[in-house]
Amino acid sequence: MAYDYDLFVIGAGSGGVRAARLAAMTGKKVAVAEEHRAGGTCVIRGCVPKKYMVYASEFGRSLHHMKGYGWTVENASYDHNLFMDKMHREVDRLSGIYARNLRNAGVEIIEERAEFADAHTLKLLKSGRTVTAAKILIAVGGAPILPQDVEGIDLAISSNEMFHLDAVPEHIVIVGGGYIAVEFAGIMSGLGARVCLVYRGETVLRGFDDDVRTHVHDELKRKGVKVITHAAPKTLKKDNGKITMTLSNNETVTADKILFAVGREPHTKGLGLEKAGVKLNDKGAVIVDEYSHTNVPHIWAVGDVTDRVNLTPVAIREGQAFAQTEFMDKPTSFDHADIPHAVFTQPPVGVVGMTEADARKAFGMVDIYKTKFRPMKDMLTRDEERVLMKLVVRAEDERVVGVHIVGPDAPEIIQAVAIAVKMGASKADFDRTCALHPSIAEELVTLREKFVPPELKPV
C-alpha cells in the first residue's frame, strides 16, 4: 500500500520535533500535526515562560539584598504587562525557531489537530481531510488536571492560564504540593502577591528526598507563604469578584485567583487511539517498551504522553532514540536512570539519582553525608536562607547514588554533578577532587563526616 507519509508525528513539542527532524534528514517524507503552536508545553506554557517568571520574581528580593552591599535603588516598581509582553515575544521567537527548523529539515507542518481514524489513517479536524502514514509517532504530551469532583471548579485556573495573567493578583490560593505548585508559590510571592498553598499531604514535593522536601517546605513558610496541609478543596464560590474555597477541614480561604496545580495527565482523550488499537494504562498513558514502541507494530509514542519521566530533555532523547532506531539503522533506547531534575523554587532544587529512602530500600546499607549552611552572599544581607547539600552513598562500594541540593544555582551545579553520578563515581572520587573556593559547590567535595541520626548517637 502506498502511504501519504513515511512518518506522521502527532504533536510538535520537543520530542515530536526532534524525531521528525531526524527522520526527515534521512530523506523520508515526514509531516507533523500541531493544533496549537510548535514548541509544545515546554516552550509555550511550561519550562521557558515559567523560568522567565522565576527570574522576574527574584528581582524584588534582590533589591532588598542589594542594601547589604551598599546599593540603594529609589522608586523601584514592577510593570507586569511590560514583563509579560517581553516574555511572550521571546516565546513567539522560540516557537518560530522550532517551526523553521522543521521546515528546513523538510518536514511538512500541518497546523491542525490530528486524530486516528484507523491504525494507518489520521483525520485532520480543521480541514476534514484524511492522510495515511506508514509509521506514526504519538507525541502529544500532557495537560493540567482540573478535578471535576470539586464544586465550582470552573472558577479555578490551571498552570496554562498563569502565563496570561493581566495583573499580579493581590491574593492567590494554590492547590497542590508538586513542583508546579511550589514554583508558582515562589513566583507569586516574589511578585508581591499574598500566597496560600493548600496541600492534602504533610510535606510538599512528594517523591523527592525527605530532607529536600522539609527544606523547601520550611523555606516557603519563611518567605511568607501560608501553607495549609492535610486539606483538600471541596467547593469554590464567587462573590463580589472574590473566590472563596471551602476545604475538607472546614476552613475557608478567599482569594482573587485559585490555581489548581494538582498534577498533569497524558493528553490522550479524544485522540482516537482505540480506533488504532493502541493500549493505554489506567492513567491514560500510552504503554510503550524500552524503544518507545506501542503494542501496534507501526505506532510509537514519546514524551509525557507515555508518563515515564515527564521532562523536556527526556522527551527529546526519546524522540532521538526513536528516529535513530527506525530511520538510521542504529537501534537505540534511552536510559531513564540518573536523570538530573531541577525544581525552580526559591531557593531552587537540583537532584540526581536516588533518594535516601529508595537507596536504603534497594541496597540496605547506605552512608549519608549532608550539610546546611548560609551561603556567603547572604552574610551581608542578613537573609536567613540556608543551603542544603546531601550525598547518598552505597556502603558496599562507596558509589555515590544520589546527590541532592537546595540553594542558589543548584540546577546549574547538578547538571555537572550528574555526569559523575552517571559514570558511577565513588565518594573517594569526590574526595579526591580539589575544591573550588569560595563557592557553594565546593561543599560537595569537602564532606567528610557521615551523618548519624541523633537517636543513634552514643550518649
Contact (CB, 8 A) for 220 and 186:
yes
C-alpha 146/C-alpha 134 separation (Å) is: 36
C-alpha 101/C-alpha 446 separation (Å) is: 45
Contacts of 318 (CB under 8 A, 6+ apart): 15, 292, 302, 303, 306, 308, 334
Cell numbers 530532607: residue: 211
A 10 A CB-CB count for 456 gives 7
**What residues are annotated to the active site?**
437
Handedness of CA 230, 233, 239, 242 (dihedral sign): positive
A 10 A CB-CB count for 379 gives 10
Angle ∠(231,251,215) on CA atoms, nearest 5: 45
Pick from 341, 291, 370: nearest CA to 183:
341
